[in-house]
Copies of this chain bind each other. A is one copy, B any other.
């Protein structure tokens, strides 16, 4: 259900077509919420049907049109409702921890290899998060820039702080994963030694 709110959140910045949204979801939004095209387009249609969005047909090329989605008052009200409703704690379901608990069942070399892969992944992820955080602070981030255009300086500052706060959480998580992976290398030495 959160996909719905992630879509509204994005569209409060500026109206977008399904394609624009889909591109955002494969870049910056993906840090907070991932979804493939095949989930986005049908959900946009359902949201329009439910009155949370309206769409404007925009000519594209000679014959084609594209649909630009706008958040309705109803959509914004529902978004606020969700924002203020209690957050249900996520159930733990991360294969990395499950595997770690049983590292003694696997070949230490294979474990080391997996740790290396995870390390590369999280290092790249962390770098991306830090780049995005910087683009929020200096307000060069395109979606943020579009959003804060409509706001006064005080409101803009608060909007930026919230986004930076979210990224700080993600960055802390990434660092914590990397520290844990580092400890994993020490553990695997014991397993093979």
Interface residues, chain A, with chain B CB atoms under 8 Å away: 2, 5-6, 9, 12, 30-34, 79-80, 83-84, 86-107, 110-111, 114, 117-118, 121, 125, 155, 158-159, 161-163, 165-166, 168-170, 172-173, 176, 179-180, 183-184, 187, 190-191
Contacts and interface: CB of A to CB of B under 8 A. Distances in A.
Secondary structure at chain A's binding surface: helix, strand, loop or mixed?
helix
A138 to B, nearest CB: 17
Centre residue among A94, A106, A165 by max chain B CB count within 10 A: A165
A90 B177 CA distance: 12
B162 A103 contact: yes
Contacts of A34: 91-93
B104 A87 contact: no
